[in-house]
Amino acid sequence: MKQRILIIDDDMDLCRLLKNNLEQEDYYVRTCHDGAAGLKEAMSFEYQLVVLDIMLPQKNGYEVLGKIREKSFVPVLMLTARGSEGDKVSGLRMGADDYLTKPFSNSEFLARVSSLLRRYTVFNTANISGKAIKVGNLLIDKCGREVCKNNSLLDLTAKEFDLLLFFAENPGQVFTKKQIYHAVWNEEYAFDDNNIMVHIRRLRKKIEDNPENPEYIITVWGVGYKFDLQPSQKQLRHGGKNDGA
C-alpha cells in the first residue's frame, strides 16, 4: 500500500511540483491550499506525513499543527519562507517533527520526507503495534508494565513507567514539558517543571548507561524532550548531554 502524504500550502505551483516529485517516488499525495481545508483533510483521512506551510489563509500553519497534535502524532514537516531561529523553535514547540526553509532543493525535500516516513513506519508500526516495545537494550512490556534492560528487570515506579511508555510510543517526536505533563499526569499543567525534570532525571538513571550523556531521553534545547529511535548510534544531537533533567 502506498504511503499517504498531505501537502497544505497556498502556493499552487509549489504544490504541483512537490506532488509530481512525490508521485514519481510512488507516494499517494493530496494537496490543500488553505488551513481550514487542510485541517479538515488531515482529520478526515489517515496520512503518514503532513507537509505544512506556516503562512496560510483562513488558519495559519501553527493553528493547523496545534489541532492536528490534539488528535494525532503523524509526522509534520513545516515549510516556510521564514528563516529565523524563532520560527523554527515555535514550530518545534508545537509538535513539528522537522522544518524546511524555502527555497529548498528537491533532493533535500525528498530526503526529509523519506527520513520522517521511515521513522513513522518502522518504529511506530512495527514496535508499537504489539504488546512489547523493543528499543536498543530496553524491552518494555506494556501489559505487564515491566521494563528489562539487557534482560535484567528494572525497578521503575508507576509514573516512571508511564513516562517511559509515553516516550517509547511516540519515538522521535519532540514534546514540550506541558505536553508531557498533560499526557502522563493527565492533569492541567501548572508550570510544574521541577516535577517533570525530577522524574526524567530518575528515569535516566535507571535506563541510561550514562545518565549524564543520555541516549534514549534526549533534551532538545529550548523546546523539550524526545525519545531517540537509534540509541546505539553515537551521533551529534541537539541536547545530547544532560541539562539536569
Q: Give tens-digit pLDDT for 50-80.
A: 999 999 999 999 999 989 988 777 889 999 8
One-letter amino acid for residue 200 of the chain: I
Cell output for 76: 509534520
The Cα–Cα gap between 232 and 137 comes to: 9
pLDDT at residue 92 in the model: 77
pLDDT digits (tens, 9 = 90+) for 81-120: 766 666 777 777 777 888 898 889 999 999 999 988 876 6
Residue 240 has pLDDT above 60, yes or no: no
pLDDT at residue 236 in the model: 34
Residue 162 has pLDDT above 60, yes or no: yes
Cell output for 237: 544531537
Higher-pLDDT residue of 197, 192:
197
Residue 244 has pLDDT above 80, yes or no: no
Mean pLDDT of 19-46: 95
* pTM greater than 0.85 (yes/no): no
Ranges 44-58, 96-110, 115-129, 152-166: which has the least confidence: 115-129
One-letter amino acid for residue 225 of the chain: Y
CA geometry: angle at 117 spanning 39 and 141, to 5°?
100
76-80 β-sheet, strand order: 28-32, 4-8, 49-53, 76-80, 98-101
Cβ-based burial of 138 (10 A; exposed 0-12, middle 13-18, buried ≥19) = middle
Answer yes or no: are the C-beta atoms of 220 and 238 closer than 8 Å: yes
Residue 239 has pLDDT above 70, yes or no: no
Q: How far is CA 104 from CA 108, 111, 189, 203, in A?
A: 7, 11, 38, 39
